[in-house]
Amino acid sequence: MATTLDLPGEEFILPGTRTCAGCGLSIAYRYILKALGPKTIVTLPACCLTILHGIYPKTPIAVNAVNNTFASTAASATGLVAGLKARGINDFTVVGMAGDGGTFDMGIQALSGAAERQTDFIYICYDNEAYMNTGVQRSSATPLGAYTTTTPVLTKQQPKKNFLKIMEAHNLSYLATTCSSYPGDLYEKFLKAKNKKGTRFMHVASPCPAGWGYPASDTVKIGRLAVESGVVILYEVEGGELKLTGKSLNIARSGRKKRVNEYLEAQGRFSKMPAELVEEFQKEVDRNWDDVLRRAKL
Ligand SMILES: Cc1ncc(C[n+]2csc(CCOP(=O)(O)OP(=O)(O)O)c2C)c(N)n1
Ligand code: SF4
Ligand SMILES: [Mg+2]
């Protein structure tokens, strides 16, 4: 597994972004771009990534980018792929990148269409589990029991949508999950994705201090707790075969998965969660973990 010292020194996010201090997305994006390199075109809808990209004509991002509308990220990527092909350009990687709201909710139709056609691009969903850019509204990726500004009294009553299962049903050439707290895991998976053809789907768990209610200095710790308790599972699927990676593989081999309590208690968004929902949350995490473990070769 690569460590941060092994990664290329070249930076594609220059100083001066407008994201919050401690933003998990900005950490992840730094390593994503190191893996993909300068010959990358990113198409993105409105979201915190647009905040990171800045306001035209100034940007701290040193790759090409297109701003699109919410439902059209994968359609826009499809157009970019066709345009490059028509011009005989074959050394660029086309990337569609959106948040959980722009993927799990609004972008699903165009993404499903592009994936079914096996369009040659990488789709990245960075998941901060709510509509953060507009002030923390609930999405279908928001977990059970989380406070958002649209679930102010009872907290969210439904579990997170299992979007990875939906994407797996598209028979993709590559699907991987990763997290901003594990740069080596993230970098290696993006290098792998870059060298494959067809639609590649990447899910990047991206903790968000502003929306999750924890100190900005704890972003790496929160992402690690998510993985250590099995809330986020690091794996990849190629040709229908699922492999656990990094910390999740270690946990599966040692049997040392933490309970979810430490993860939940570290975040203000779960502070109103009643005990019975904590139990339900734990059961849902255990079900997902068992599901993935059954399919993985250890
Ligand atoms: C069609 C449309 N509806 C609503 C908005 C307002 N809007 C801009 S960003 C955003 C939140 C996006 O959430 P997500 O995709 O999860 O990304 P995040 O902000 O969390 O990074 C919303 C609702 C919009 N720009 N376009
Ligand atoms: S609201 Fe969250 S995801 Fe958005 S810039 Fe701030 S920390 Fe990052
Ligand atoms: Mg979001």
**pLDDT tens for residues 229-241?**
999 999 999 999 9
Site of tokens 């100034």:
58
Which pLDDT belongs to residue 153?
A: 86
- Ligand 3 centre to CA of 259 (Å) is 25
Rounded Cα distance between 263 and 198, Å, is 36
CA dihedral 47, 53, 56, 62 (to 10 degrees): -150
- 16 belongs to a structural domain: no
Ligand nearest to the CA of 129: 3
- 7 belongs to a structural domain: no
Output b/e per residue, 124-140; b: 16+ Cβ within 10 A.
Answer: bbbbbbbbbbeebbbbb
Domain that holds residue 175: 23-295
Rounded Cα distance between 228 and 250, Å, is 10
- 183 belongs to a structural domain: yes
Looking at ligand 1, which residue's alpha carbon is closest to its atom 11?
Answer: 131
Q: Is the CB of 128 under 6 A from ligand 2?
A: yes
- 133 belongs to a structural domain: yes
Low-confidence ranges of the chain (pLDDT < 70): none
- 161 belongs to a structural domain: yes
Can you name the residues that pair with 126 across neighbouring β-strands?
204
What pTM does this model have? Answer: 0.98
Which pLDDT belongs to residue 154?
A: 85
Rounded Cα distance between 12 and 120, Å, is 23
Domain with residue 85: its CATH number is: 3.40.50.970
- 2 belongs to a structural domain: no
Q: What is the pLDDT of residues 243-271, one digit of tens each?
A: 999 999 999 999 999 999 999 999 999 99
- 9 belongs to a structural domain: no
Please count the structural domains in the chain.
Answer: 1
